[in-house]
Structure 1
């Protein structure tokens, strides 16, 4: 690590032992050396003596003792989070060695002793002579953590000196945002083709190879930035660009040029947080100066991703206790150095909150819509408000599909609404719209609304407040508004309340909404229960409802109608208060009431959608919607019950709220046509999945094939002798392939149950070969960190589901084998059955499968020097679906023995060489 000293400091060596556990064994190291131990002894030592370890949650899982993280442990990840807030580190011995400036341990048996050395190296940063960038605030934070009995606090107390000048605390250190004049509408400009190519050349660099496909792509993207000629008919471009074309810089060239010439903002929207991070890094090519880049490029996410300063203050002042209070202190330390306050995918280490699972990380964000806006004492320093105002003046806003749709549908930021969009990962627009424009009248949703209206009902700590508390000044000023608040609180008593699931299970629902949910549960079980489904969610169509459900729908609708009326009335009264402008209403108060009006409108729209869904019960079905009943369960445990409504075609509301309001839209992806479109016949699918077919003006089409030589860089192996449903055979196949390739395997599954079953069978086997195995839904590590770990270690393998199939970018030798458990057929849900019927039957299924296969294969070859194999463990793979793979890639049907032999021919980690390892290190640090 930079800014660390060697160990010749006047501090005693740490007297604590270090513990390490992996699938290959358990070791303890102390002054006498390192020795292997058993699980029981390891748990006893950890319970009796503070021990140094790395990632207590993961070690606890490896020991089979989930409560390990609740003991007095010296977790080096927590120490790093304190010493280096907002810095990146891969949470493995290899990653720790890199930041500590030490040699990485070569095998698991060396890790425990290494951890003792790493602890000393990290603590060396605190020496007064060292240049420690995050020194400010450390002493103050350490005092608070000492009072909370944080295990590292006494160690730090020996080393940290009280500063001569009082340290700035978080809330005095954070900068304030300021209001500015409204930005004028963008000028009408037409981009010159030569200027566009010159901008692209500047972005790629003079020494870069000129790629004809990228140049053509930039020219096609330019059309989306031309002047709009007809209202409601944007200039829309659908651009499918194969992996390796360089589409990111291809669209950033015209986008940045238009923003500069028109003095407007372009919103670049992605589906995954990984691509958001990547785009933020690519923007350095546009604006090398960090200060300029911060002004010109802003990353936006939903408010539930950002740290809420008011929630944090409550946590620091006693709202949290125990381990959760320690997390709050570490988050406060991070917030003082964070670039944007983003807790999910930003510069807060993704692994930090997993160390405090079950301890309130989500309570530090605003997930309930309870923001008081200008009523908050930290409003002027709020990360969310700062990002919103910065985006109004930026050239590029890097957002996500969900935020774009939420802002458009709910009329947010209407004065600064963008006119130009780039939708990267455009093949996900259909799914994003499906989630955004759906309706769910469930127990979990109604109890959340109850809490939002009424506030806390059973005491407890926290700053949750109801409508009356949040709008007390309005209630005292405006009689009509006060009466509406009282009526809303009274009506909300009819919603589901704490303990509703237990009461329904016992046949004793309380109130009209719980009675409705009980009727939903009864009918769902009556129609959907089948042998073998006991552990999974159940659903059935909302068709031919039974008398119990029809009878329950009437009182439930009356209760919801009694709630929506005062919410609407309150919104109108608040708008009237804004118009009247009483003496007490200063700027902050106005902003707070405007925020309350927007929040009330959203809640009222939600209840109105519930009423529309209830009206369907016993009435005719709408051809535009798919309605069903569901009981959600995990491993046999019910966690929600309710009615659901989705648009049959969710791109219709997307086109109305987003596309038709825009002037120009570029939708791009490597698999925009869903895979299998290499003969040019699936553009209709692309238009249907992006909403282009709902516009008056047709979309332009552009296609650029990948420049990679798939014929020599990759191959597809379809294994024919692994029996479907045989868990032992499936696990054996994954184990043999992972060992043969020497790691570097990304294993993809269509069911979490099978993923867990395979992991349990093969983790020890791979560990004995020196090959680490990680798994989504198994390891207590967030998905982004799992990918970081996988990318960092060429010998590691990673198992996962859909999120890894679509969102992993691991160039280089760390990923050289993709193994898919079987043909990824869509799950036969009520919603899928309706869309399948409307979309052409089996042809609809085939399009979905080809798209998934194309996305999975796309993880394999990310650079011109990548080589690898794609293995599909399914003898029943239909030949008609093979068009999902790029033209020229060899496709062979082989036995498992043959697939293993071909996997063993892939370069192993030992063959990669120092140069490739150095490249991987550089990529990880970036």
Structure 2
């Protein structure tokens, strides 16, 4: 580096600063130049944090652990890491940073490594390219004004030539991004078959010389190949239901025939899974197909919903709002700007995004929000991350998506392309649905409808723009379309009528006006609120409330009628306006530039989606209230939605009793072939009965039967696992429940996952066991307690072999932790489905065994998290004595099941795992 403005880092500051890491109920401190680790209490640790002259990793998380106010003044090494190495995946902890940097860790907390990590990062700065440093200088000056503690040491190293006075200096990263380019549309996918022999040969090449020889995996590939054979008549896709026990290696098993089909037939293959984490895993497996990163980027694309991507226009607006009042939000935006320069796809749910910054800046402010995109009218349109991804996906051989996006796209294919889902003309003729047991739930959400306060306020804002004192850069229809309709009198009139008619909808701040509602929408919500409160027992205000719609009061019927009339007055001008825009496209087809066509088309699609689909659905629901008649395919109810005891929404909900009906019609029947695969497709209570798999995946509604196959796990569950039903713990006694979790976690020596059916029960146990576990040297993480998103919590849990984690349903399916980091799973009770109005309707449709089916599937899926390799050993515990024997079919038949007391379970677990810690008081 020949830049004369580069100075060697002055490390004297680091030598003087103590390093602090939470541990137990307090923290561990490395005492700076004294080099000595010592434990301190929470009060002393909080005081150090408030002083700011301390090294930490993830200040918001540390503050939460210490029950202290977040400090904005400390030396957060995680922020320094995000500044120096933007886009580099890292577990957000001292240990995680040390691992990426290759720093030796002498203690289990990583406190002693924080200083060395900071030193390496500061020494790395002078090695960065001169072009990068030219951006970092003004950016760091702005961060210095916001109080960032690292700004001083960094500027001493990369000395600025002059003071930067421009308020956005260093932030305008959008100016450096490359533009996307349009490519010719791909041709229609062919229908060349994939034979089992070809698929088996491809599998062998994927596994390679280092892979395990798995006969079950070869047989799985043979069965999966059926989904890639040509269909013989429209509406009758080739569907394969293939159940694969844990350890089969199903990802490579289906990638073999799927990749062959894509190579032979062209774009049209979508692989869909349930979570974003699993999407990352599948993309990672594709490195076996395409070892060259450049080729893999060209042929494999991960697609997610728009809300997962950074919106450059929203980011620019957020930066401008902070320009005159620098704060820690400014620091967060600066670190995000570093990430923007490094990211290839703008995915804020990706592993390289500094998600810990959400503690200072709500990420919804910088992502794409529903109905807000202005497409070709946006100044950043040509460098937009979402537009880039959509165009890459059009020509990619393999698109890795998630169930929610697949269902949303397919449900709106009648529009061709859509402003919410960005189909972009992608052809999808073959699907692989991994984690296929979740298709029912994904369809349940994807095809749902709700006349609620949140939904109405969103639509009103889309039509009219922000009102009152609402701070938003979103614009209403008038602002977005006025230049397009200024020469069309009918379009102008339709626009004016639509804006006026939108007053029927509930507006921003509707929750504060339930006592004095404004307009028919808010009157309806107030009537729903009174109806629910009158019909429900509200002894516990922590959870949501729901009730049947019938019988209705005269006031409720009148409110529904008035809202329905108002919605019709809104739908008519929206459709007239859409028709006028379509006509404009046709009349001016020879004059419009491509970006102008894209803008008009997007606006027309948005109008059509709301005027032809959303509003008619709402009117149908309100009409059913008036007439008292509802189609047997649907179930309606009123609900007051609460999250952690805080009311968030009110409205009328509608779900399909069997959501696989629209799933089949809109997704499966339109495809040529689909592989639906999972470890838990069938009801474990009857291994010879495929009916449950067909009912819950939509295969039962197809004109031709699905091909079925099942392959057991290669693991030796009799030697590798144990199941315990604990009989002597009073489930309704919080102290007994906490004691049980404590003793079980100690018996396993950590590596334990506790699963709860209720957030309040989780918090109660966490409060009681965090201290005792800490005294025994075990770190406890918990959803809804720690200030981290679920993905980060799982990353921490996975990276620390002896930590413990408490969570709810999201962790039952979303944890993939091979090895000793997960060796014990504890359920606080049998995970029966909640007795909601919707569940009652489905039990009536599917039979009394429906409860058992769902519960066995949940237990089976959770058990599958436990044993992930040939050398794993694990124990599964249910703390409910009344666990019915018929549910135990969820576990592999060879797995030993013991009904016993807590003390015996603790002894058995300690002996079986060869681990265990005595209670601190012992």
Q: How far apart are residue 460 of structure 1 and its match? A: 5.7
Q: How far apart are residue 258 of structure 1 and its match? A: 0.9
Q: Pick from 130, 136, 139: which aligns with 1:138?
A: 136
Alignment-derived partner of residue 828 in structure 1:
835
Summarize deviations over 1:420-477 as a string: whole Å, max 9, x none: 0000000000000000100111111111111111112224654211111111211323
Q: 1:49/1:864 Cα in 2 relative to 1: closer, same or farther (>3 Å)?
A: closer
CA contact (8 A) 1:187 1:264 kept: no
| Structure 2 residue 91 is the aligned partner of structure 1 residue 90 | yes
Q: 1:584/1:73 Cα in 2 relative to 1: closer, same or farther (>3 Å)?
A: farther
Q: How far apart are residue 590 of structure 1 and its match? A: 0.8
Aligned equivalents of 2:190, 2:541: Cα separation in 1: 61
| Structure 2 residue 270 is the aligned partner of structure 1 residue 267 | yes
CA contact (8 A) 1:87 1:347 kept: yes
Aligned equivalents of 2:488, 2:160: Cα separation in 1: 52
Q: Pick from 386, 389, 397: which aligns with 1:387?
A: 389
Q: Pick from 714, 718, 727: which aligns with 2:725?
A: 718
CA contact (8 A) 1:340 1:346 kept: no
Aligned equivalents of 1:453, 1:405: Cα separation in 2: 26
SS at match of 1:493: helix
Q: Pick from 666, 670, 678: which aligns with 1:657?
A: 666
| Structure 2 residue 177 is the aligned partner of structure 1 residue 179 | no
Summarize deviations over 1:527-573 as a string: whole Å, max 9, x none: 1125x333321110112212221111111111111111121111111
CA contact (8 A) 1:93 1:104 kept: no
Aligned equivalents of 2:519, 2:332: Cα separation in 1: 39
Q: How far apart are residue 38 of structure 1 and its match? A: 4.4
Q: How far apart are residue 779 of structure 1 and its match? A: 0.5
Aligned equivalents of 1:207, 1:121: Cα separation in 2: 35
Q: How far apart are residue 182 of structure 1 and its match? A: 1.5
Q: 1:796/1:594 Cα in 2 relative to 1: closer, same or farther (>3 Å)?
A: same
CA contact (8 A) 2:196 2:221 kept: no
SS at match of 1:324: helix
Aligned equivalents of 2:779, 2:869: Cα separation in 1: 24
Alignment-derived partner of residue 125 in structure 2:
126
Q: 1:132/1:807 Cα in 2 relative to 1: closer, same or farther (>3 Å)?
A: farther
Aligned equivalents of 1:127, 1:761: Cα separation in 2: 48
Aligned equivalents of 1:426, 1:314: Cα separation in 2: 40
Aligned equivalents of 2:346, 2:685: Cα separation in 1: 41
| Structure 2 residue 524 is the aligned partner of structure 1 residue 519 | no
Aligned-residue RMSD, C-alpha: 2.3
CA contact (8 A) 1:312 1:364 kept: yes
SS at match of 1:229: coil
CA contact (8 A) 2:139 2:171 kept: no
| Structure 2 residue 675 is the aligned partner of structure 1 residue 675 | no
Summarize deviations over 1:152-191 as a string: whole Å, max 9, x none: 2222111124599x99963243222211212111222122
CA contact (8 A) 2:391 2:424 kept: no
CA contact (8 A) 1:427 1:674 kept: no
Q: 1:208/1:637 Cα in 2 relative to 1: closer, same or farther (>3 Å)?
A: closer
| Structure 2 residue 785 is the aligned partner of structure 1 residue 788 | no
Alignment-derived partner of residue 845 in structure 1:
851
Q: How far apart are residue 346 of structure 1 and its match? A: 4.3
Aligned equivalents of 2:740, 2:137: Cα separation in 1: 53
Alignment of 1:94-113 (within 5 A): 94-108=95-109, 112=111
Q: How far apart are residue 583 of structure 1 and its match? A: 7.8
Aligned equivalents of 1:659, 1:159: Cα separation in 2: 59
Summarize deviations over 1:848-873 as a string: whole Å, max 9, x none: 00000001101100111111111111
Between Structure 1 and Structure 2, how many residues are aligned?
890
Alignment-derived partner of residue 896 in structure 2:
890
Alignment-derived partner of residue 782 in structure 2:
775
CA contact (8 A) 1:303 1:384 kept: yes
Q: 1:456/1:131 Cα in 2 relative to 1: closer, same or farther (>3 Å)?
A: closer
CA contact (8 A) 1:125 1:132 kept: no
Alignment-derived partner of residue 917 in structure 1:
none
SS at match of 2:118: helix
Q: Pick from 502, 505, 510: which aligns with 1:492?
A: 502
Q: Pick from 276, 281, 285: which aligns with 2:279?
A: 276
Summarize deviations over 1:812-862 as a string: whole Å, max 9, x none: 111111111110001111100110111112x01000000000011011001
CA contact (8 A) 2:224 2:257 kept: yes
SS at match of 1:520: helix
Q: Which runs of 5+ in 1 are unaligned?
A: 1-6, 912-926
Q: Pick from 589, 595, 620: which aligns with 1:612?
A: 620
CA contact (8 A) 1:535 1:633 kept: yes
Q: Pick from 402, 407, 414: which aligns with 1:400?
A: 402
Alignment-derived partner of residue 206 in structure 1:
209
Q: Pick from 698, 702, 706: which aligns with 1:695?
A: 702
Aligned equivalents of 1:569, 1:178: Cα separation in 2: 33
Q: TM-score, normalised by structure 1?
A: 0.92
Q: How far apart are residue 9 of structure 1 and its match? A: 4.7
Alignment-derived partner of residue 920 in structure 2:
none
SS at match of 2:853: helix
Q: 1:754/1:248 Cα in 2 relative to 1: closer, same or farther (>3 Å)?
A: same
Alignment of 1:38-117 (within 5 A): 38-65=41-68, 67-69=69-71, 71-108=72-109, 112=111, 114-117=113-116
CA contact (8 A) 1:13 1:120 kept: no
Aligned equivalents of 2:737, 2:260: Cα separation in 1: 52
Q: 1:487/1:868 Cα in 2 relative to 1: closer, same or farther (>3 Å)?
A: same
Aligned equivalents of 2:541, 2:302: Cα separation in 1: 43
Summarize deviations over 1:366-416 as a string: whole Å, max 9, x none: 122211111112212111111111111111000011111111111233732
Aligned equivalents of 2:402, 2:784: Cα separation in 1: 24
Aligned equivalents of 1:222, 1:190: Cα separation in 2: 9
Q: How far apart are residue 336 of structure 1 and its match? A: 1.0
Alignment-derived partner of residue 288 in structure 2:
285
SS at match of 2:654: strand
Summarize deviations over 1:667-710 as a string: whole Å, max 9, x none: 000001143343x12x1111111111111111110111111111
Q: Pick from 326, 330, 340: which aligns with 1:325?
A: 330
| Structure 2 residue 238 is the aligned partner of structure 1 residue 230 | no
Q: How far apart are residue 35 of structure 1 and its match? A: 5.5
| Larger deviation, residues 420-429 vs 181-190 | 181-190
Alignment-derived partner of residue 27 in structure 2:
26
Alignment-derived partner of residue 316 in structure 2:
313
CA contact (8 A) 1:188 1:262 kept: yes
Q: How far apart are residue 290 of structure 1 and its match? A: 0.5
| Larger deviation, residues 817-826 vs 485-494 | 485-494
Alignment-derived partner of residue 339 in structure 2:
334
Q: TM-score, normalised by structure 2?
A: 0.93
SS at match of 1:20: strand
CA contact (8 A) 2:73 2:147 kept: no
Alignment-derived partner of residue 867 in structure 1:
873
SS at match of 1:518: helix
Q: How far apart are residue 84 of structure 1 and its match? A: 1.0
Summarize deviations over 1:209-256 as a string: whole Å, max 9, x none: 331111111111111111111111100111111111111111100011
SS at match of 1:471: helix
Q: 1:36/1:881 Cα in 2 relative to 1: closer, same or farther (>3 Å)?
A: closer
Q: Pick from 148, 169, 186: which aligns with 1:150?
A: 148
| Larger deviation, residues 742-751 vs 451-460 | 451-460
Summarize deviations over 1:796-823 as a string: whole Å, max 9, x none: 0111111110111111111111111110
SS at match of 2:83: helix
Aligned equivalents of 1:134, 1:347: Cα separation in 2: 19
CA contact (8 A) 1:810 1:859 kept: yes
CA contact (8 A) 2:272 2:400 kept: yes
Aligned equivalents of 1:75, 1:594: Cα separation in 2: 47
Alignment-derived partner of residue 365 in structure 2:
363
Q: 1:91/1:264 Cα in 2 relative to 1: closer, same or farther (>3 Å)?
A: closer
